[in-house]
Amino acid sequence: MHIVITGTSSGIGKFLAENLGKKHKIYWVARRKNTINTIDFFEWNICDNDFLEKLTEKVGILDYIIFNAWVGYFGDFEAISEENHREILETNLLSPLLLAHKLLKNKKIKTWIIFIGSIASKKSLKNGASYMASKFWLRGLAMGLKNDYKKLQIQIINPSIVKTDFHKKNRLDMSNYRENSLEEILKIVEDIISWKEKRFEVDV
């Protein structure tokens, strides 16, 4: 399989790329430059309108794209800057929406899509209004695409709390959430790719 994964700088994306790379051809995508010479890395931000062309020119076959890239700022709603609110929406929703639009518009590319969402799209998270909204809309995007493209495999995984460095640094109140391991997320992705997991939405 040829698999593109966004948000591979750290956390879930990096873990998926490292482990899926043992069996599949992985293309790492992130906003921050990766200096590892042994991987196929593509630097991308939402302003790069030619990114898909650059990617497909080098990749050729594209079996799966895993939309994992996200960002979050937590705290009192009014204390978060307008710039950070915009960054949340651009990274968590607008980036996958625009890239998915380009992929689906290009009829030569037949790519299955996996979204890494969040249980926060369905369950309240204290001091995370913008983040919750972005994941709520991402879930809506996935549902809409699933309805519109019946012949494509489109699925969304909703992890609860995965204790990456991000969550540790932000000191979020996770008392109402089940803790997931990175291995759990990997297993679900592997099951989707091998056609063992066929549900549209998988809550972890």
* Structural domains for the chain: 2-203 (3.40.50.720)
φ, ψ for residue 76 (rounded to 5)?
A: -60, 130
Q: What is the pLDDT of residue 53?
A: 77
89: DSSP letter? H
Taking the C-alpha atoms of residue 94 and residue 132, their distance in angstroms, rounded to an integer, is 15
Q: What is the pLDDT of residue 72?
A: 86
Q: Are 61 and 2 in contact (CB under 8 A)?
A: yes
Both tokens assigned to 75: 């705290």
Alpha helix (H) residue ranges in 46-81 = 51-59
Q: What is the pLDDT of residue 117?
A: 94
pTM for the structure as a whole: 0.89
Both tokens assigned to 51: 């990114």
Q: Which long-range contacts (CB under 8 A, 24 or more apart) does 19-23 make?
A: 19/186, 20/186, 20/189, 20/190, 20/193
Q: Which residue has the tokens 């204290």?
A: 126
Degrees, nearest 5: CA angle 48-49-53: 105
Q: Which of the residues in the chain have pLDDT under 70? A: 35, 46-47, 49, 107-109, 163-176
φ, ψ for residue 34 (rounded to 5)?
A: -105, 130
* CB atoms near residue 60 (< 10 Å): 8
Residue 24's Cβ-count burial label (10 Å; 0-12, 13-18, 19+) is middle
φ, ψ for residue 65 (rounded to 5)?
A: -125, 130
